[in-house]
Amino acid sequence: MTELVGRMSFGEPRVDRSAQLTVPPAERDIAYDPPPTADSPHVRAARVLEANWTGTSTVPSRGLYPHQWSWDSAFIAIGLRHLSPLRAQAELETLLDAQWGDGRIPHIVFNPSVPLDAYFPSPDFWRSSTAGRTAGAPRTVQTSGIVQPPVHALSAWLVHRADPVLSRARGFLTRVYPRLAAWHRYLLHRRDLGGGGLASVVHPWEQGMDNSPCWDAPLSRVTPAPARSFRRADLDHGAAEDRPTDLDYGRYVRLAADYRDGGYADGTGDFAVEDPAFNALLIASEHALARIARELGATGTARHARAERLTAALIERLWEPAEGMFLCRDLRGDGPAGELVPERGVAGLVPLLLPTLPRDITAALVRTAHGPHFGLGGTTRLAPSYDLLGEAFDPHRYWRGPAWFNTNWLLERGLRTHGERERADALRRAMVGLADASGFAEYVDPYTGEACGATGFGWTAALALDLLHDEPARDTSDVPECAVEDLAVKEFKGGNRG
């Protein structure tokens, strides 16, 4: 990386260097703005992304996660756009090349050069090209059969904005737009399992917060696969006390195997949950798709309208005023419409990202984030993944308490969107400082900032880089809702609706 840093370019015209995606790292120019010092957080973050680059995509972690993950790549592209807009475009294009015929974007795209025993569940478990044939799984690449949160259109729009000239010259948005539109159609139609307009997840891995206590009740009805039927490769790279339990893992395996054996058909499994973060990201990406449509010559009006309908459905089905936050809805629970899960996870704060939430809801979310249950800016440096006062809280065990950088990046964007500039600035400083100090850890203890999980983690480095490059956006709290045009980091124009 030393030689690479010595070759950084600060003002040269951006041209298509697709050949550079396969040349040795020392021969690859990376453009920085502003120019970093030789040993700055910018350079340290860039080293992580360079080390995790495979030539066509970025792995989250070389040891623990040696393939391409869906929402990881979306977040990673947001940071990569500051280093190389071309590489950021390639990141998303590689992922979309593995899209299924029914529109789903799989949560893992497997690298055939990685040994099967390096990660479980491996390609021979998912059997995508055979079990997923009816759903249109690709034949030339092996993938998983489940999905992850739809950050992709938002990511694509931000990547385009990083270098519109390059993007237009390559036809980047023209090529990705129909694929992203198909992805949203799949979620809005095939995954509306509750009939209320929201997308459902059919496996905890789809929501991304794998072992959150929010899943304990919905998972309790799932009979776990026998422990002898699988081998957990994750324990080769992380402490058992930081990872999901064997019981949780057995239930994950059972759900995935049943979904596979049913030909990846939706709506028949024992697990179906409407999650606030998953749907908030779908809404954010609908707004982004509207902006992409406008860039391509359409009006985008229908997509903005759809985003507003989804926002209304999110509030109607998942908002809980008494808790001051959104909750998950277990569609397999008691009652004709399922039941809300009475657990406070960080997913319930993520809708703060949305620019047209009513003012009373945004105010309640800010109070909850900074109150005793999450302690942001007070007892905790970053928002934890789960309620500090919850019986299941554990500051080190995966999504049962530690703080994650992607969820905090979303909260920082949300705070800034709704005029909470000082709180957003404080969170931004904490994120950048802890990311660097922890060695760009996968997640951290929310109280101490102690590194947990893998270090040199892809999205931690990418999102820290994004915050390092981004000047805090102006206060937008007095901008009327009719001015909502963009969900880009600097381009938020959404106001509050009373």
Tell me what percent of the chain is helix, strand and coil, each rounded to the nearest 5. 45, 5, 45
- Structure tokens that stand for 360 in this block: 């009373």
> How many whole angstroms separate alpha carbon 49 and alpha carbon 462?
7
Active site residue 478: no
Nearest alpha-carbon partner for 365 in 374, 215, 330: 374
> How many whole angstroms separate alpha carbon 91 and alpha carbon 419?
32
> How many whole angstroms separate alpha carbon 71 and alpha carbon 148?
6
Q: What H or E segment, with its residue span, contains residue 132?
A: none
Eight-state DSSP code of residue 55: S
| CA dist 119 → 56, 112, 164, 230, 401 (Å) | 20, 12, 37, 11, 24
> How many whole angstroms separate alpha carbon 136 and alpha carbon 208?
23
Amino acid at 39: D
Eight-state DSSP code of residue 207: H
Annotated active-site residue in 102, 248, 394, 442: 442
Q: How many residues does the chain have?
A: 498
Annotated active-site residue in 210, 266, 274, 445: 210
- Structure tokens that stand for 202 in this block: 């059919």
Say if residues 16 and 166 touch (Cβ distance below 8 Å).
yes
Active site residue 323: no
- Structure tokens that stand for 10 in this block: 């600060």
> How many whole angstroms separate alpha carbon 203 and alpha carbon 278?
12
Alpha helices by DSSP H, listed for 239-394, are 246-261, 276-295, 301-318, 359-370
> Hey, which residues are catalytic here?
210, 442
